[in-house]
Amino acid sequence: MKLKFAIVILMSALTFIAEATNITAQASINISKSSYVRTYHLIQTTQGLSSEIAVSGPQSITTNVTALNMGSVVNPGIAWFKNLSSSYSIEIGTGTNGEFRPFLNLSTGQVCFVWLSTNAITAKSIGGSATLDYFIQSR
């Protein structure tokens, strides 16, 4: 009986360790205007985590395309972005000034999380200097 109990505890500990190696993202979106009401619950827990490397901001963003500091992150997983500016929107994308391709546009104060498939993230402000806070976790 003691052996079965020990095996169950060991299996529970291994399950916890296995679950701790995943990236989990959760969000809720609630929209309400007059009779138009929508609620969405977004949960994804299937992304494996093989690296403990992450990088975070804040970083100053100008009207010129600026590469985000990726530190040692080479295989990005989930990213969280927040526009700290009170005046200007920030576009986040890939490419340089001639080939910039935005995939996000954050108005003042907006927050977003997204799964990344590139480590060449760039950003630019629309109208003047702004500050982008961010966190990017390796997969």
| 81-94 pLDDT per residue, tens | 999 999 999 999 99
Higher pLDDT, 125 or 28: 125
- Specify the pTM: 0.74
Helix (H) or strand (E) holding 6: helix 2-19
Q: Please compute the mean of the pLDDT values over residues 39-52 and round it to a whole number.
A: 74
How confident is the model over 97-114, as pLDDT tens digits? 779 999 999 999 999 988
Answer whether the bond into residue 58 is a cis peptide, omega within 30°. Answer: yes
Q: Residue ranges per domain, the chain?
A: 49-138
Distance CA 48, CA 138 (A): 10
Region 49-138: CATH code: 2.60.120.770
At residue 34 the predicted structure's pLDDT band, cuts being 50, 70 and 90, is: very high
B/e letters for 26-36, b = 16+ CB within 10 Å, e = fewer, are eeeeeeeeeee
- pLDDT category of residue 45 using cuts at 50, 70 and 90: low
pLDDT at 8 over 80: no
Closest CA to 116 of 25, 18, 21, 20: 25
